[in-house]
Amino acid sequence: MGQGILGTISQSGEITLFNKGGRPVAYIHPGEEPVIYLWGGRAVAYLSGHHVYGFNGRHLGWFDQGVIFNHCGEKIGFTKSECPGLPGAEPVKMGKLIQQVRSIKETAPPKPLSPVSISNENFVSFLTSGT
C-alpha cells in the first residue's frame, strides 16, 4: 500500500471511502476520471479534478485532501487517514457492474470556505443522488 494523491491506495490502486462512523461504504477506482463504486459494484459517481459528479451530470461536491465535501462545505466522506471514526474492516468487494452513460456536467457552484463540520447526511444517499 502507498500514499497517493487521493489518499491511501490499496495494491489494486483503489481507495476506500468511509462514512463519518468509520464504515467503508464506497471506493474509488483509479483512471483518467476515477469512478466511485459502492461495495455492491454499482458505479455511482466519478471524479473530474477535485469535483465529484453523478452520472446524470449533477455536481455533488468536492474531493480534497482525502475528504469529500457536500455543497454546504460539510465533510461527508473520508479516506482512511482522514476518517473521524475508527475505520472498520473492509468487506469483500463485489464485481463491478457496467457504468451508466455520463451526462453533460453541470457547472460547479463555488466551493464554500473553511469547512469544519461533519454532515449528518447519509453518505450512500449523497453518492447515489447523482444516478
pLDDT tens sequence for the chain (131 residues)? 333 444 444 556 899 999 999 999 999 999 888 999 999 999 999 999 999 999 999 999 999 999 999 999 999 999 999 999 899 998 888 778 777 778 888 899 988 887 679 999 999 999 999 88
Return the number of other C-beta atoms located less than 10 Å from residue 77's C-beta: 27
Report the half-sphere exposure of 101 (CA within 13 A, side-chain side): 2
**Which residues, including other chains, have CB under 8 Å from residue 117's CB and lie 6 or more apart?**
73, 74, 75
Q: How far is CA 124 from CA 24, 40, 43, in A?
A: 10, 12, 12
Spatial contact of 75 and 19, defined as CB atoms under 8 Å apart = no
